Amino acid sequence: MSEKTIPEIRGSRFAGVASQFSESEPEFLRQTALANGPITLFRMFGLSFYHVADPELIREILVTRQKEFPKAKRDVEILGSFIGNGLVTSGGEFHAKQRKLAQPAFHARRIGGYASTMVDYTSAVMADWHDGQPLDISQAMYELTMYIVAKTLFDADMSQMQAEAEGVGQAIHHLQAISNADFKSPIQWPHWLPTKRNRLRRQARNTLNSTVGTIINNRRAQAVDGQVADTGDLLSMLMLSQYDDGSFMGDQQLLDEVLTLFVAGHETTSNALSWTWYLLSQHPDVVDKLQAELDGVLGSRQATLADLPQLTYTGQIIKEVLRLYPPAWILNTRTTPVATNLGPYQLPADANIFISPYAMHHLPQYFPEPDAFRPERWTAEFEQSLPRYAYMPFGGGPRVCIGNSFAQMEAQLVLATIGQRFTTSLATEEVKLNPQVTLSPKDGLPVILHARQPVPAPTEAVPALQPA
């Protein structure tokens, strides 16, 4: 195979394309893929970046040669200051050990048991909603998914988390913004320097550590004769599991793993649901089809796990939202410890590699009319025709998101539960992308709620008419 030349986008001598990149990082990467195809080189502040936008090349990086393309140390350090050394940031054999301990909590049979909590908590959150109510649906989805993940994975009640919601939300918001600023900065200042950013970072981390620490300590306080009860959730699993040498997870590592799964477990799903309401607010035809399905399958009763196979259009909506607005819009930067090839391209040592699901999901060769919101595109035939890494809202390879099935089930059940009772209309003229660690609507998503009554499904019992 002959070596191919990598197209390069040139910028200024020092900053490179930093100015163009920072205007809208997702759109910049999308345009490089559209213009240059599988791989593009650009530079920022003396560093070389290679944007890879080809399913086969991505497969090499994430699967077949993943050990040759480790996560960039800088990315790991920045994210580590946010969520600690958990599943997202750890690497190598240590990551494999930690994932092995956590994986059973996400097996299909176990996450199926979380479905009723997801529906019940959604119903509880919208109990006070009413027709004509203005609502920041982004904030509402944030709080809802936080309650759900705290209960299902850590057995922390909604009443306990409601008191923490505002402080936790602010802390995560601050750490997202700080991490984003760190990613963009050409200089990484030590965290011990008494800067405003570092003080805010410490305060926010202390808030999260306190919340997660309380969840862990409450579980330990319930121990009998020093033995933590196995309640079937992720937390008890992590506290009771032993490594191959018989040792248990240390306190700091336990906190880091719980913090990682707590943040990642609701931050991404809340954004996916926020974008769902954004898109549905603009597409009444999709709403009509959704409501017809919900009325036909559910009527006025609550959704259950057993209903999901029949809620096909509901699932297609979630898949299409994750295509247009993947919360994980860019994967952690990969790097090349030594010079190597990638397909027909030669990469130098210390190259920084970007892989963007957002860019991949907007390529017309895989998704005709890529900007159109078309849930019905997600037929079984269409999915089978897609190259494996053309659609990757949860990453891929050995480090694919451990909670992907959990997140998809949650999003589908929340959409079905709210969709039975409410529709939304936008209460703002413009919604902008906010590409930080995850992709969220900038400045929230104000909507107006519109109440509706579900139509009884044909299988629902209807009281018989009494003779006059």
Whether residue 43 is contained in a domain is answered as yes
Whether residue 313 is contained in a domain is answered as no
Angle at 292 between CA 287 and CA 298, to 5 degrees: 115
pLDDT of the residue at 468: 39
Distance from C-alpha of 437 to C-alpha of 121, rounded to nearest angstrom: 26
pLDDT of the residue at 465: 46
Whether residue 28 is contained in a domain is answered as yes
Distance from C-alpha of 407 to C-alpha of 266, rounded to nearest angstrom: 8
Structurally, the chain folds into a number of domains equal to 1
pLDDT of the residue at 1: 59
Distance from C-alpha of 264 to C-alpha of 341, rounded to nearest angstrom: 33
Distances (CA, A) of 159 to 139, 162, 223, 385: 17, 5, 22, 46
Residue 298 DSSP class = T
**Contact indicator for 351, 72 with CB cutoff of 8 Å:** no
**Contact indicator for 269, 145 with CB cutoff of 8 Å:** yes
Burial 244-263 (b: 16+ CB within 10 A, else e): eeeeebeeebbbbbbbbbbb
Kindly give the pairing relationship between strand 39-44 and strand 47-52. antiparallel
Structural domain span for residue 50: 1-73+329-369
Distance from C-alpha of 206 to C-alpha of 196, rounded to nearest angstrom: 15
Whether residue 291 is contained in a domain is answered as no
Whether residue 317 is contained in a domain is answered as no
Whether residue 223 is contained in a domain is answered as no
Closest CA to 388 of 26, 54, 36: 54
Q: pLDDT by residue for the chain (468 residues), tens digit each?
A: 578 999 999 999 889 999 999 999 999 999 999 999 999 999 999 899 999 999 999 999 999 999 999 999 988 898 888 888 888 888 888 888 888 888 888 888 888 889 999 999 999 999 999 999 999 999 999 999 999 999 988 888 888 888 888 888 898 888 888 888 888 877 777 888 888 888 999 999 999 999 888 888 888 888 777 788 888 788 888 888 878 888 888 888 888 988 888 888 888 999 999 999 999 999 999 999 999 999 999 999 999 999 999 999 999 999 999 999 999 999 999 999 999 999 999 999 999 999 999 999 999 999 999 999 999 999 999 999 999 999 999 999 988 998 999 999 999 999 999 999 999 999 998 999 999 989 999 999 999 999 998 887 666 544 444 443
**Contact indicator for 424, 104 with CB cutoff of 8 Å:** no
Whether residue 196 is contained in a domain is answered as no
Q: Identify residue 165 by its one-letter amino acid code.
A: A
pLDDT of the residue at 461: 47
Whether residue 170 is contained in a domain is answered as no
CATH code of residue 48: 3.30.43.20
Return all residues near 92 (Cβ < 8 A) that are at least 6 apart: none
Distance from C-alpha of 213 to C-alpha of 201, rounded to nearest angstrom: 18
Burial 406-426 (b: 16+ CB within 10 A, else e): bbbbbbbbbbbbbbbbbbbeb
pLDDT of the residue at 446: 97
Between helix 284-297 and helix 404-421 the angle, nearest 10°, is: 90
